[in-house]
Amino acid sequence: MFEKILIANRGEIAVRVTRTAKRLGIATVAVYSDADRDALHVRMADEAVHIGAAPVGESYLDGDRIIQAARDTGAEAIHPGYGFLSENPDFVEKVEAVGLIFIGPSSQAIRAMGLKDAAKRLMERAGVPVVPGYHGDTQALVALAAKANEIGYPVLIKARAGGGGKGMRLVSDQDAFPEALAAAQREAKAAFGDEHVLVEKYIETPRHIEVQVFGDNHGNAVHLFERDCSAQRRHQKVIEEAPAPGMNEATRQAMTDAAVKAAKAISYSGAGTIEFIVDASEGLRPDRFWFMEMNTRLQVEHPVTEMITGIDLVEWQLRVAAGEPLPLMQEQITATGHAVEARIYAEDATRDFLPATGTLHHLKFPDAVNGALLRVDAGVTAGDAISPYYDPMIAKLIVHAATRAAALDALATALEATEVAGSTVNLGFLARLARDEDFAAGNLETGLIGRKQAALTTVASPLARHVASAVAATSSRARAADDADPFSTISGYGHFGAMAHRRTLQRGDETISAWVTARPDGALSICVGEDERTQPIIVRRGEAGRVACWPGHVTVFERADGLTFQVPDPLQMAGDAAAGDRLSAPMPGLVKLVRAAVRETVRKGQPLLVLEAMKMEHTITAPHDGVIAEIASEGAQVNDGAMLVRFEELSE
């Protein structure tokens, strides 16, 4: 076994690998960019090496710097985690050329499966079923459009490199094909450095089911059962589970046999995942699944497999890379119960899942869930900042229970007990999805979230009791202190009774007033609204509910939703009301493409520019009719709230 390894990644997966390495007595070396100098994975490692600036191209994708860091620290092997360089065969060859070990498959296996078009041709030869489509080299618009017509709409345009929904577009008719192709190619180029795409028939009632495989350098290959990853938004997974709901033994046997056959076809060594697209229109059937792609690395959702099998997949990776045979053979691997994982992202589900940034001023996970085993895989702690440079996932909640129903209930309960303040997160969306009737019934397919997005992402407006909780929490001048006691600062002399103190909160464009009076019994009497004589809400000591105060704000937690209010500073309330007619950046990002010009007349809804943030493209459209006075330049890096467009009024 290794004595020291370098982990060529960041965030949650770097923390995950470090935990197993420490358990096995292996020393760890972390690498970090400027943005991650104080990150959790750096603090946990035995050593840490700075490798460059925040952009991934200057740090986590700089293979030469990472290899040099490994050599300088005496590491024997490099674990790539997932993403970044984990599926880069050139990096693998460079690692091995200097005498280090890559903890993963060979460069030949990665090349064989790394490009989706070539992988599908290989799988066809190996006898693995493949979804109908065009997987050739021609990339001209005319040729690809003709192939799409031949396949029949709807079709899916997919980047041949990478994954995670990047470089992917669903196209319903031929008129939309050119624009979708251009967008997919741009996004693929930005994310993977490869704009090559393929075109496939879109399965209209699809489920995404994958099989975890593992091989070693002694000719052995096994599967560790299947996972269902059909709960997706924008082609990115949000909740995964194992085993797949509704799976029957005949389909499981056919699917796992095909997965092991695929692994053996390339003499695969290490952890890998064979992903299948499944036609669920008539339930799960042995003849209705097709190979989609292979991920030649550990998957984000690997914990659900670990929970049902009791196997540490990172330990297996380390042992196989060290030359050991697989710890167990197929007949020794069993599955028990049901596991579900939810990915907690810094994103605004109410704004079509736009990535969010901010500082995690308050972060609290539950310690346990009744009747289920709870696991939290996090890459952050309270006080950490969410950077615009990297993927916005901050943690994963995983639960294991005897049945799927019990696991889903435990997951929803755990999500509702999680508290995050300082950045917008998707907790409420995840909890509503976990409790959705169709999802709970196992009526899964990849379009489920899209169909129910409005209901799953709607957050109810704050009630008077939420306002009262926020006001009670912010009624202390020392509210930022841990020992702040809002009940001690509301007293005051009144000739005919206790004085009422006015408090003001802001939520979006709405100003909310409340009147607070200290009662003789020590409780607070809070009247929400402009009239201090409205029906009061009584808040006693210790009964303000789940509340977190952070600089200039207070967040009240209602189940899984965080209702955040701004706390205006009376000395700074004079705002600039004449800011002009502007369109601001909804998040930090790069202006990738400008589609309008100064003095151009535009209409409401017209695309104006494309903003690239967190590896995804976001089209910014005109909020109303107008004439453009100023517009951001292509290639500009903008911050959240920066002016993108300034309008003049339309002439009469």
Residues marked active site are found at: 297
Q: Is 406 helix (H, G, I), strand (E, B) or coil?
A: helix
Q: What own/partner pairs with CB < 8 Å and gap ≥ 24 does 632-636 have? A: 632/591, 632/594, 633/591, 633/594, 634/591, 634/592, 634/593, 634/594, 635/590, 635/591, 636/590, 636/591
Structure tokens at 547: 């509340």
Q: What is the CA radius of gyration of the chain?
A: 27
Q: Determine contact, residues 488/541, Cβ cutoff 8 Å.
A: no
User: What's the number of CA atoms in the CB half-sphere (13 Å) around residue 339?
Assistant: 25
Q: Determine contact, residues 528/470, Cβ cutoff 8 Å.
A: no
Q: Determine contact, residues 250/233, Cβ cutoff 8 Å.
A: no
Q: What does the DSSP assignment read for 448-491?
A: HHHHTHHHHH--PPPPHHHHHHHHHHT-STTTTSTT--GGGS--
- Does 243 sit behind a cis peptide bond, omega within 30 degrees of 0 on the bond before it? yes
Q: What own/partner pairs with CB < 8 Å and gap ≥ 24 does 477-486 have? A: 479/549, 479/554, 479/567, 480/549, 480/551, 484/549, 486/524, 486/544
Using CA atoms, how far apart are residues 24 and 103, in angstroms rounded to an integer?
Answer: 15
Backbone angles phi, psi at 619, to 5 degrees: -80, 125
| CB-based contacts of 50, cutoff 8 Å, min separation 6 | 31, 32, 33, 34, 37
User: How many separate helices (H) and strands (E) can be counted in the chain?
Assistant: 17, 38
Using CA atoms, how far apart are residues 288 and 129, in angstroms rounded to an integer?
Answer: 9
Q: Determine contact, residues 516/488, Cβ cutoff 8 Å.
A: no
Structure tokens at 408: 């889903």
Integer CA distances (angstroms), 481 to 421, 475, 568, in order: 16, 12, 18
Using CA atoms, how far apart are residues 547 and 563, in angstroms rounded to an integer?
Answer: 9
Integer CA distances (angstroms), 254 to 44, 225, 276, in order: 42, 12, 12
Using CA atoms, how far apart are residues 376 and 458, in angstroms rounded to an integer?
Answer: 26
Sign of CA dihedral 404, 408, 414, 418: positive
Q: What does the DSSP assignment read for 506-555?
A: EETTEEEEEEEEE-TTS-EEEEESS-TTSPPEEE-TT-S-SEEEETTEEE
Q: Which of 643, 598, 649 is nearest to 620 (CA)?
A: 643
Structure tokens at 303: 């914990």
Q: Using DSSP bridges, classify how beta strands 524-528 and 168-171 pair: parallel, antiparallel or unpaired.
A: unpaired
Q: Degrees (nearest 5) of the Cα angle 551, 345, 377?
A: 100
